[in-house]
Amino acid sequence: MAPEPASPPQVVRAAQKDDYYRAELRSAAGSALHSLLGAKKWLEWRKEVELLTDLAYFSLTTLSGSQTLGEEYVNIVQVDPSARRVPSWLRRAALVSLHTIAPYLLDKALLHLEHELQVEGESRRPSQGGAVPGGRSRSLARAWVRRWVGPLTEQQKKTLLWIVPLLRQSLAALRRLHVAVFYIHGVFYHLAKRFTGVTYVRRLCPTRFVCIHPSA
């Protein structure tokens, strides 16, 4: 008998539970960093701490082949496009990366690009070895963005400065649109799952993954 697909309410409830536990982990990690290093470092590294806690959560669950706490709560299991096998380790790794690392890197890249374009528009600085206002050294990411922006013409920089905020807003709108599509078709709640073809089925057996053939 083929496993029965998970219902949309089950998928949504699992995602909500996972978001709740991730928020709890983020809060605990942020509080620890704030207590140890102070508010300044917490504000500076808040996004990185959130990324690390999300990676820890999904590494201990999805990446290891186990259910997340949300999936366990509603008794559903992730499967590959065949809907009969648990996703392979490579597919699970791609899923976790697209769900956590990719949004972080994209957001950071756009943020640094927008900041660099604004700085270029406000003042002229030496193309190499210029000091950053306030004496703060540039991160590797910002230095890479500056090298990429440097050779561009003034018109290209102005165009990019107009496009980048629009692109960030479009990405947020795309996520909301994707959720709306889920409520219509009830298949992929997250973009990462659509890209990797991972869906959910109900776990019919009391023992772990007995009803689903393991991936080769």
Contact status, residue 58 vs residue 1, Cβ threshold 8 Å: no
Most confident of 23-27, 44-48, 109-113: 23-27
Higher pLDDT, 141 or 185: 185
Tokens of 117: 């374009």
Q: What is the mean pLDDT of residues 56-68?
A: 95
Please indicate, yes or no, whether residues 19 and 29 belong to a single structural domain of this protein: yes
Contact status, residue 199 vs residue 72, Cβ threshold 8 Å: no
Give the pLDDT score at 67: 95
Please indicate, yes or no, whether residues 83 and 112 belong to a single structural domain of this protein: no
pLDDT band for position 131 (50/70/90)?
Answer: very low
Which of 91-105, 110-124, 190-204 has the least mean pLDDT? 110-124
Average pLDDT of every residue of the chain? 83
Cα distance between residue 65 and residue 81, in whole Å = 16
Please indicate, yes or no, whether residues 167 and 113 belong to a single structural domain of this protein: yes
Q: What is the pTM of this model?
A: 0.79
Q: What is the mean pLDDT of residues 170-174?
A: 91
Please indicate, yes or no, whether residues 157 and 210 belong to a single structural domain of this protein: no
Which helix or strand (DSSP H or E) is residue 162 part of?
helix 154-185
Establish if 18 belongs to a structural domain. yes
Please indicate, yes or no, whether residues 15 and 33 belong to a single structural domain of this protein: yes
Cα distance between residue 27 and residue 19, in whole Å = 12
What's the structural domain count of the chain? 2
Cα distance between residue 184 and residue 96, in whole Å = 25
